[in-house]
Amino acid sequence: MERYSHIKGKMQREIVLLKAKPCAWSICTFCDYIEDNSTCLEEMIAINHTVLDQITEEYGILEVIDSASIFELPQETLERIKQIIQAKHIHTLFIESHWLYYQHSQEIKKFFWY
- Least distance CB 58 / ligand SF4 (angstroms): 28
3-state secondary structure 11-65: CCEEEEEECCCCCCCCCCCCCCHHHHCCCCHHHHHHHHHHHHCCCCCCCCEEEEE
Is the Cβ of residue 35 or residue 114 nearer to ligand SF4 in the bound state?
A: 35
Residue type, 43: E
Using only the alpha carbons of the chain, give its radius of gyration.
14
- Least distance CB 31 / ligand SF4 (angstroms): 3
Is the Cβ of residue 15 or residue 60 nearer to ligand SF4 in the bound state?
A: 15
Which parts of this chain interact with ligand SF4 (CB under 6 A)? 23, 25-26, 28, 31, 33-34, 68, 98
The rounded distance, in Å, linking the Cα atoms of 112 and 103 is: 16
Q: Which residues of 1-10 are buried (b: 16+ CB within 10 A; e: fewer)?
A: eebeeeeeee
- Least distance CB 98 / ligand SF4 (angstroms): 4
Is the Cβ of residue 12 or residue 105 nearer to ligand SF4 in the bound state?
A: 105
Is the Cβ of residue 24 or residue 87 nearer to ligand SF4 in the bound state?
A: 24
- Least distance CB 87 / ligand SF4 (angstroms): 28
